[in-house]
Structure 1
Amino acid sequence: MSLDWLSAPCVQPDTELADAARAHQLQLTKPPGSLGMLEAVAVQLASLQRTAQPALDRVWISVFAADHGVAEEGVSAFPQVVTGEMVRNFATGGAAISVLARSLDAKLDVVNLGTVNDPGEIPGVRRAIIAPSTANFCRGPAMNEAQLEAALAAGADRVRAAQKADAQLFIGGEMGIANTTSAAALASALLEEPPSCLAGAGTGLNAAGIQHKVTVLERALELHATANNALEQLRCLGGFEIAALVGAYVAASQAGIPLLVDGFISTTAALAAVTIQPEVRAWLLFSHRSKEHGHARVLRALQAEPLIDLGMRLGEASGAATAVPLLRLACALHNGMATFEQAGVSNVD
């Protein structure tokens, strides 16, 4: 398998429809710009969906689960068995993202890429096992080349499924004990910044635990200092689920499906995807500002302004799912408000 597909061109947003959508917003019965980001995202969706009337009736959510070898360094407040247990919880409807997906009438697609505590065959869970876990990146690369290719391909595969279902929006989520450590390592490498700027509490570490995480990250970054491009940094420091998100973001942009990005881990995957294929950036909408320490820094690197800030840090695509009603309202306002002429209301001179 080759990774050449990652550099294939993405669909170009329709700039004429974007201009038309902006002009339409100026004719609606409100002061220009008074609906703030709701106006901007409606324009962006019109451009990406190539329609004068954007809509988000069909939302696809893929949650990728995988374990991390670096967990053996004691960087998480939760035991590693939780990853496999949560896969079952997703499928049986008890997780936060399960509840949110039901309330949104969205498709929830759960993908097990490899867990130490393997829950086995579960109805509603797609098994795409690469290995029980990545390797401990404090001792060597997290993935070999074949594993990286498989993880990236797993993300692209779910985009193809979403495309077949005529999805109007793709959301990627993740689950994996110690994956905030992996995301912090990858973000540090991509941004060439110290891990103290990116490492946070994750599942609930105290100050001492965060400092230990930083020390672990410093060891890993020193070990992999020669990884000098985004793909190598992803291979050496990432996780199966993070790589799957990267693959999904690139594939969705190539397929012309808008993307709604979740929190710190998903945004770090988005940063990697944009670094690998810059055209991906146009297809990204950003849902929320996570409470996880490094998220604001990664958002700034992408020049991204998220829709909401609720102090969330769960992952699972929960922040993105929470923002979907706002996007739907943005579309409803864009499509349903009267123009000044239609309402017989005087416009500004």
Structure 2
Amino acid sequence: MKAFNIQKPDKTMVPALQDKIDNLTKPKGSLGRLEELAVQIGTIQQTLTPELRKPQNVIFAADHGIVTEGVSFSAPEVTAQQVPNFLKGGGGVGMFSRQHHFGLKVVDCGVNADFRELPGLIDRKIRKGTRNYLHEAAMTEEEMERAIEIGAEVVDMACDEGSNIISFGEMGIANTSSSSLWMTWFTGIPLKACVGAGSGLNSQGIEHKYNVLRTAMENYHGDGSPQDIIRWFGGYEMVAAVGAMLRAAEHRMMIIVDGFIMTNCVLAAKQLYPAVQEYCIFGHQGDEAGHQLVLEALGAKPLLNLGLRLGEGTGAICAYPIIESAVRMINEMTTFQQAQITKYF
């Protein structure tokens, strides 16, 4: 499998970062999470004056073979219909990207459609959807490796364009099913607690989804390794996101993590390279059942809780202004000495 060189950020400068923050004109600790973010970002960048450059959001799109088992409220053709909508700037992700000045990349990893040179699309199609993991592995080892490489390649593009902060989103009908399976395998949380409504299933639909996924687990006959679980139950877009996260961490970029699916991609990436989480800022806690549980399993503290469950990277982009505020705080607030104010803590 493709190797990455991911190092934990050197923590020796944390005291200097904290000292700078503590000497800004405010009561000690009074800016809460912003102070924690500033320390994390300064540590990643190894500087007392961190900066955010050219934020980007990458949407990986692909279809899932398991969709034929009726595990999703949405029709399978929605994946293909949304791709041109994203490229035209439509939908939530386009609006939020414009609002917060994010570059937007859309990558076809395995959509069940022929787009015929759709302008702006990064065409890296592996196959027209994964296989149905109720009966067999979703992808071969070679296809998993290709998906990892696609994610890494797209992050290299963003890095070459000057970006040092990136978020990832996904488009793939039935990918909450794959996420639930990764979650239960990698955390030990019972499958029942990992399965939710996805794009809008009712209670009967959720029960059917659970039964299908339980049977898929029972039918699994791989070797149980993290790599095998990732390829057996994953989607091409999800594995590409794993590769993208690993490359972003290798480049020492900040990763803003979106919702349930992307949080489970962090969980999967961490099975391969535990240090990847050091580069992650968790944007929000979504409304999908299981998201809070997987965040807790990772020891992650999300910045927002707005009941979002759209995906696409929308929650991560919404969290960006908070991250920007943390960087502005450490760079733009005056110190007690500069302002000639007596410390009041």
Per the TM superposition, whether the score is higher than 0.5 is yes
- The CA distance in 2 between the partners of 1:230 and 1:92, in whole Å, is 37
1:101-152 C-alpha deviation (Å, 9 max, x unpaired): 1122211010011112333321111000001100111011011111101111
Tell me which residue corresponds to 1:17.
13
Match status 1:73 vs 2:52: no
Tell me which residue corresponds to 1:29.
25
**Matched pairs, number:** 345
The answer on whether the counterparts of 1:85 and 1:119 sit within 8 Å (CA) in structure 2 is no
3-state SS, counterpart of residue 171 of structure 1: strand
Shift of 1:207: 0.6
The answer on whether the counterparts of 1:85 and 1:117 sit within 8 Å (CA) in structure 2 is no
Shift of 1:20: 1.5
Match status 1:176 vs 2:195: no
Tell me which residue corresponds to 1:150.
146
Tell me which residue corresponds to 1:166.
162
Shift of 1:208: 0.6
The answer on whether the counterparts of 2:134 and 2:212 sit within 8 Å (CA) in structure 1 is yes
Identity %: 38
- The CA distance in 2 between the partners of 1:209 and 1:297, in whole Å, is 21
Match of residue 271, structure 2, among 268, 275, 279: 275
Tell me which residue corresponds to 2:44.
48
- What RMSD, in angstroms, separates the aligned Cα atoms of the two structures? 1.3
Match status 1:194 vs 2:193: no
> Which moves more between the two structures, 53-62 or 65-74?
53-62
TM (norm. structure 2) is 0.97
Match status 1:137 vs 2:130: no
Match status 1:83 vs 2:79: yes
- The CA distance in 2 between the partners of 1:93 and 1:80, in whole Å, is 22
Report matched runs for 1:255-266 at 5 Å.
255-266=251-262
1:299-345 C-alpha deviation (Å, 9 max, x unpaired): 11111001010000000000000001111111111111111112222
Residue type of the alignment partner of 2:117: E
Tell me which residue corresponds to 2:312.
316
Residue type of the alignment partner of 1:75: V
3-state SS, counterpart of residue 56 of structure 2: strand
Structure 2: stretches of 5+ with no match in the other structure: none
3-state SS, counterpart of residue 272 of structure 1: helix
Match status 1:218 vs 2:214: yes
Shift of 1:17: 3.2
3-state SS, counterpart of residue 277 of structure 2: helix
Residue type of the alignment partner of 1:55: E
Match status 1:241 vs 2:237: yes
- The CA distance in 1 between the partners of 2:223 and 2:281, in whole Å, is 29
TM (norm. structure 1) is 0.96
Shift of 1:225: 5.4
